[in-house]
Amino acid sequence: MVFVETSLFSRLLGDYLRDDEYRLSRNHLIEYPDAGDVIRGAGGVRKVRWASGGKGKSGGVRVIYYWAKADEQTFFLTLYGKGEKENLSAMDLKRVVKLLEELTNE
């Protein structure tokens, strides 16, 4: 499995996950790449809950990613804290879909 981070994801990562938490999330996705819930209308983009800083999954981080099964690649698109928002807004969703299109058309 190859992991690809967007610049947005890379920029936000340190604010939400420690290195060990991020490593665990990648290991989990290697084993269960379809673990996250598919976000309706987002072309297969998924959202997975991940524990952060001892808060547990319910108060932790939401990682938005896309699993390209045929290519064995996972694209980390963005992430946010659950306390910030429950779901992506319509505008956020459009940005994520556009970002995914740019990444997969390279």
The CATH number for 45's domain is: 3.30.2310.20
Q: If we measure between CA atoms, which residue out of 7, 14, 10, 17 comes closest to residue 57?
A: 17
53-79 pLDDT, tens per residue? Answer: 766 556 689 999 999 988 889 999 999
**CA 40, CA 54: separation in Å to the nearest integer?**
29
> Structurally, how many domains does the chain consist of?
1
Give the pLDDT of residue 52: 80
Give the pLDDT of residue 17: 92
The half-sphere exposure of 106 on its side-chain side, counting CA atoms within 13 A, is 8
Q: Which residue has the tokens 């340190």?
A: 14
**In angstroms, how far is CA 64 from the centroid of its own chain?**
2
pTM of the model: 0.88
**CA 64, CA 56: separation in Å to the nearest integer?**
17
* Structural domain boundaries, residue 15: 2-104
4-43 pLDDT, tens per residue? Answer: 999 999 999 999 999 999 999 999 999 999 998 999 988 8
Q: Which residue has the tokens 């699993």?
A: 67
78-91 pLDDT, tens per residue? Answer: 999 988 888 888 89
